[in-house]
Amino acid sequence: MKKLDKWKFIGENGEFKVENADQSKYLYFPLANEAEMMSAITPRLHGDIKTGQNTFAMRPVSLEDLHNTKSARNFWLKVNGQNIWSVSGNSAAQFAKQFSGEEEDVELEAGLLWHKITRTNENLNLKAEITNFVPTNSDTLELMQVKVKNTGDEALKIEPTAAVPIYGRSADNLRDHRHVTSLLHRTKTLENGVVVKPTLSFDERGHKQNEVSYAVLGAEADGKAPVGFFPVLEDYIGDGGSLEWPEAVVLSSDDYLKAGAEIDGYETVGALKFEEITLKAGAEAAYVIAISIAEEEVDYDKLAAKYCSQEKFEKYLTENKEFWEQKLSVVDFNSADREFDQWMKWVTLQPILRRIYGCSFLPSHDYGRGGRGWRDLWQDCLALLLMEPEPVSDLLYNNFSGVRIDGSNATIIGSEPGEFKADRNNIKRVWMDHGAWPLITTKLYIDQSGDLDFLLKEQSYFEEGSELKDQNDEIYQGTVIEHFLVQHLTHFFDVGEHNNFLLKNGDWNDGLDMAENRGESVAFTALYGSNLLELAELLKALAAEKDLEKIELAEELSILLDTIERDFNYGSVDYKRKVLSDYRQTCSQGISGRKIEVDLTELISDLESKGQSIFEHLNQNEWIETEAGDKFYNGYYDDDGQRLEGDHPKGIRMTLTGQVFPVMAGVADEDQIQQVVDSADKYLKDLSVGGYRLNTDFKELKTNLGRLFGFAYGHKENGAMFSHMAVMYSNALYKQGFAEAGHKVIDYIYQHCKDFDTSRTYPGIPEYINQRGRGMYPYLTGSASWLLLTEVTQIFGVRGELGNLVLDPKLLKSHFDAQGEAAIKTIFADKLLNITYLNSNQLKVDDYQVQEVKINGQTVNFENKAGAAVVERSLISESAEEELKLEVVLN
Ligand code: G1P
């Protein structure tokens, strides 16, 4: 058997190569554009192509479909009238060779955002190079070029046939009415290919006339059209054949249709027969195929003329490469480990991919119907803010209209601004962490931009299907501050019996979904606590900058601002629940629309009292010590009101989430952080899965806490190394000055992913590492956003602080090259900054601080804030240059 080789970077823009990529059937790669054309492709050209849940050009695939051929792009050659060869490796004959040691050589090369397979068959003297990508314009199609070369000394006669099965309908019809929906197919043969336009979009809740058409078009290198077509799947494969051994190809059928034929009511295949040619020794022929999904009427002849020739293919491919390179050029790392820097290119791409694919449209992500979840949306914006600040601020603002006045929010977000849905299955569920993310992202936005006015912008609230109206039937609007207050204060009073915020239908961990009554999330109580304090700080800055004394808030909120002129008792669960029930009672008749003026100083102190009360409560009640003397935080209570973590007859129980947020929030002091690190090293660290697991093995199906305990241990939310939480752990450690410990977390993940033999994952960070060490759910994961954020704002320490530029590197000695340099490119204040840190004495992280900052060669003043340099925004924003060079001396 040929050995799958590890990936190697071969260029400067993340391009990589994998030898014998064909030896793993679970690898796939995304091809997409911002018009939401979404493809997945494997080394055998398997995968699917779609623009949304209801518009799949190729049959939707899950991970376990990738090793059959029902959804593979194919291109066949019949050689010298006898040998049948599939350039994608999808023939029965090629399958039979698997594990024999005589497999064909298959090499993958991929880059931003293209995929190339080179397959060589030495017996046939043929080499094929197949390149796929999606053009970056507004057309929704995937292009594929097949180049075939005769590598032998004698001429070969070849009969080429392209074959892409056209599914042409909604993913819902994969099982539901798969056959009946084929009766809707209206198929035509065109000059260059086959098009299907189903009559209806089939949905028993109400069928609709369908407007979407799906086509497979093709041409030779010079644009010459195919000679004919086999559009009906059963005719193409033959009654006794299959997609791996199609009769039309095997028997060289000349029973093909010419352009202009119409066939109704059958499963369709874009099978395009090209003219037979003689390929001389050393000669090459090329074919270009386009797989298109069109929502409107299209002139397919024009579309074929636009794309289907070698010249056009190369032109759009170049454009595609330039587009993505340009898009990602705004963040670039240059450290001593160039391989890691290249790997980060893929991580940087990931948040963009999730914006395009949501969490639904790659083979591992076989759930949901598109759109993104609330927390994912906000967290992906963290990275997008570092890459494309302008449009993201609008996006943030629009997202606030998804907040409900009861503090919960719409959970599924469509692709249009302000397009929200309650939940994908129309079940109203509340994830208690949702209210916390918008503040984190908005704080990053304000720090990067200095735009404190954003807090005063008015926005509406979400109410099922529309915007919330007040008792006078007017759309009600409140400031962004008011939205934050609603989100935080409603949770603040919504506590369980141990005075932590109720877990409700889950928190960040979707798997904790069975403790709706008595479950509590201590972990997220900590995050809300620090958010309350952060909000107070933002309000102080706003008051100072705008000379503002009062702000307007919904009258109803005064109930929740209880420290202002009332007695309060945050130690009492009953007291808190009473306040919340008063608020809910008042809002239940609809919001009045009346506003009150609140003194900012009083509001700030209210938030501080609340935040501090949480911190005290957590340290007094949730900092635990095991019998063995280990100390860490308890993160949860189950639905029987039992504390989750600590000693247990089945072994110590500990979660990473329970530690991450108290550390990130600043609840834990230095000693406590060190003890958390020690306990995590003892109970959660496992290098065979890339570092820190999400939890210890509870050895119990805890139906009083969540579905995750039903998953086998070491998988997904039950104790895998779950990248998102691990990276947030690293972020929290860096934030609190634990650079070495923070670095280890990321390094373990990276080293594991790099070990391709075990991880089997292309460059980029996967959602988790499973019990066998495999990287799972690649590309679409919030961990990418957090990793990019951590690299830029913590490790390289380049971040904003209310608009000013902070330079606060936490780079270890190993990050600096032989000259003691480490560099980052990033945008700030609309300028591209090329920042080089100079650590010529190779000092350790705790031994250096910023000594000098030069902008374009000129030394500039800065404020030294505990070793970090704070540079006035104007020194950057007012420069006439678009790109600035910063040299930062560390000493
Ligand atoms: C996924 C979900 C995310 C959820 C997490 C844990 O993680 O998208 O919303 O919080 O599982 O259940 P991701 O890797 O995408 O961050």
Instruction: Specify the pairing of strand 262-264 against strand 186-189.
Output: antiparallel
Work out the average pLDDT over 225-231: 98
Name residue 8's beta-bridge partners.
17
Work out the average pLDDT over 503-515: 96
373 C-alpha to ligand 1 centroid (Å): 9
Q: Is residue 687 part of a domain?
A: no
Which of the 8 DSSP states describes residue 83?
E
H runs (alpha helix) in 40-115: 92-97
pLDDT at 422 over 70: no
409 C-alpha to ligand 1 centroid (Å): 17
Which among 237, 268, 228, 40 is positioned nearest to 132, based on CA atoms?
Answer: 40
For the CA atoms of the chain, what is the radius of gyration? Answer: 29
Which residue's alpha carbon is at the smallest distance from atom 14 of ligand 1? 781
Cα separation, 773 vs 687, whole angstroms: 9
Q: Is residue 107 part of a domain?
A: yes
180 C-alpha to ligand 1 centroid (Å): 36
Which among 344, 326, 327 is positioned nearest to 335, based on CA atoms?
Answer: 344
**Ligand 1 atom with the shortest distance to the CA of 376:** 9
Which of the 8 DSSP states describes residue 580?
H
pLDDT at 414 over 80: no
* 61 and 40 Cβ atoms separated by less than 8 Å: yes
pLDDT in tens, 846-866: 999 999 999 999 999 999 999
**Ligand 1 atom with the shortest distance to the CA of 782:** 16
Number of domains the chain is built from: 3
Neighbour order of strands in the sheet with 768-769: 721-722, 768-769, 775-776
Find the helix or strand (DSSP H, E) in which 250 lies. Answer: helix 247-250
**Ligand 1 atom with the shortest distance to the CA of 509:** 12
pLDDT at 278 over 80: yes
561 C-alpha to ligand 1 centroid (Å): 33
pLDDT in tens, 322-353: 999 999 999 999 999 999 999 999 999 999 99
Ligand 1 site residues, Cβ closer than 6 angstroms: 359, 373, 375-376, 508-511, 717, 724, 767, 781-783
pLDDT at 220 over 70: yes
* 725 and 702 Cβ atoms separated by less than 8 Å: no
Average pLDDT of every residue of the chain = 95
Q: What is the 3-state secondary structure (H, E, C) of 786-807?
A: HHHHHHHHHHCCEEEECCEEEE
Residues in the chain: 891
Distance of CA 229 to the CA centre of its chain: 39
pLDDT of residue 719: 98
Identify which of 355, 409, 510 to mutate to test ligand 1's pocket (most ligand atoms within 8 A of the CB).
510
Q: Are residues 468 and 615 in the same domain?
A: yes
Using CB atoms within 10 Å of the CB of residue 740, give its burial: 0 to 12 exposed, 13 to 18 middle, 19+ buried: middle
* 587 and 405 Cβ atoms separated by less than 8 Å: yes
Q: Is residue 374 part of a domain?
A: no
Instruction: Specify the pairing of strand 420-421 against strand 412-413.
Output: antiparallel
383 C-alpha to ligand 1 centroid (Å): 16
pLDDT at 476 over 70: yes
pLDDT in tens, 539-595: 999 999 999 999 999 999 999 999 998 999 999 999 999 999 999 999 988 899 999
24 C-alpha to ligand 1 centroid (Å): 26
Q: Is residue 477 part of a domain?
A: yes
Distance of CA 4 to the CA centre of its chain: 27
* 435 and 487 Cβ atoms separated by less than 8 Å: yes
Quick count: other Cβ atoms within 10 Å of Cβ 64?
Answer: 11
126: three-class secondary structure by DSSP: strand
pLDDT at 78 over 90: yes
Q: Are residues 319 and 444 in the same domain?
A: no
pLDDT-based confidence at 425, cuts 50/70/90? low
Q: Is residue 841 part of a domain?
A: yes
Query: Position 98: which residue type?
Result: Q
pLDDT at 426 over 80: no
pLDDT of residue 1: 77
Residue with tokens 């752990």: 729
pLDDT in tens, 771-823: 999 999 999 999 999 999 999 999 999 999 999 999 999 999 999 999 999 99
pLDDT of residue 424: 61
First to last CA, the chain: 54
* 883 and 831 Cβ atoms separated by less than 8 Å: yes
Residues 6+ positions from 570 with CB-CB distance below 8 Å: 576, 609, 610, 613, 617
Query: Position 504: which residue type?
Result: K
Q: Is residue 61 part of a domain?
A: yes
Work out the average pLDDT over 689-706: 98
787 C-alpha to ligand 1 centroid (Å): 14
- Render 711-728 in DSSP notation, one character per residue: SPTTBTTBTSEEHHHHHH
Find the helix or strand (DSSP H, E) in which 386 lies. Answer: helix 374-387
The pTM score is: 0.97
Which of 563, 595, 621 is a domain's end point? 621
Which residue's alpha carbon is at the smallest distance from atom 5 of ligand 1? 509
Identify which of 353, 781, 783, 786 to mutate to test ligand 1's pocket (most ligand atoms within 8 A of the CB).
781
**Ligand 1 atom with the shortest distance to the CA of 768:** 14
Q: Percent of the chain having pLDDT more than 90?
A: 90
* 118 and 128 Cβ atoms separated by less than 8 Å: yes
750 C-alpha to ligand 1 centroid (Å): 19
141: three-class secondary structure by DSSP: strand
Cα separation, 573 vs 498, whole angstroms: 8
pLDDT of residue 509: 96
pLDDT of residue 71: 80
pLDDT of residue 67: 87
Q: Is residue 691 part of a domain?
A: no
**Could you tell me the CATH number of the domain that includes residue 216?**
2.70.98.40
Which of 290, 308, 328 is a domain's end point? 328
Of residues 87 and 414, more confidence is placed in 87
**Ligand 1 atom with the shortest distance to the CA of 780:** 15
737 C-alpha to ligand 1 centroid (Å): 26
Which of the 8 DSSP states describes residue 689?
G
pLDDT at 2 over 90: no
The CA-based angle 850-851-853, given to 5 degrees, is: 85
pLDDT of residue 10: 97
* 50 and 153 Cβ atoms separated by less than 8 Å: no
Least confident of 32-36, 128-132, 619-623, 738-742: 32-36
587 C-alpha to ligand 1 centroid (Å): 32
Which among 440, 608, 436 is positioned nearest to 523, based on CA atoms?
Answer: 436
80: three-class secondary structure by DSSP: coil
The CA-based angle 177-182-188, given to 5 degrees, is: 160
Alpha-carbon torsion, ordered 420, 425, 429, 432, to 10 deg: -70
Least confident of 395-399, 422-426, 840-844: 422-426
Q: What sign has the CA pseudo-torsion 230, 236, 238, 239?
A: negative
**Ligand 1 atom with the shortest distance to the CA of 506:** 12
Q: Are residues 320 and 457 in the same domain?
A: no
781 C-alpha to ligand 1 centroid (Å): 7
Which residue's alpha carbon is at the smallest distance from atom 1 of ligand 1? 781
Quick count: other Cβ atoms within 10 Å of Cβ 123?
Answer: 10
Work out the average pLDDT over 513-529: 98
- Is the bond into 832 cis (omega within 30 degrees of 0)? no
Range of the domain at 611: 421-621
Instruction: Specify the pairing of strand 831-838 against strand 883-890.
Output: parallel
Residue with tokens 């003890």: 675
**Could you tell me the CATH number of the domain that includes residue 847?**
2.60.420.10
Residues 6+ positions from 302 with CB-CB distance below 8 Å: none
Query: Position 199: which residue type?
Result: T
pLDDT of residue 368: 83
Work out the average pLDDT over 492-520: 97
Which residue's alpha carbon is at the smallest distance from atom 15 of ligand 1? 781
Q: Is residue 776 part of a domain?
A: no
3-state helix vs strand vs coil in the chain, percent to 5: 35, 25, 40
The CA-based angle 594-598-600, given to 5 degrees, is: 150
Which among 187, 57, 70, 77 is positioned nearest to 121, based on CA atoms?
Answer: 77
Work out the average pLDDT over 308-314: 98
Which of 602, 621, 640 is a domain's end point? 621
Residue with tokens 């918008």: 438
Cα separation, 95 vs 104, whole angstroms: 11
Rounded to 5 degrees, φ, ψ at 889 are -90, 130
Alpha-carbon torsion, ordered 786, 787, 793, 794, to 10 deg: 110
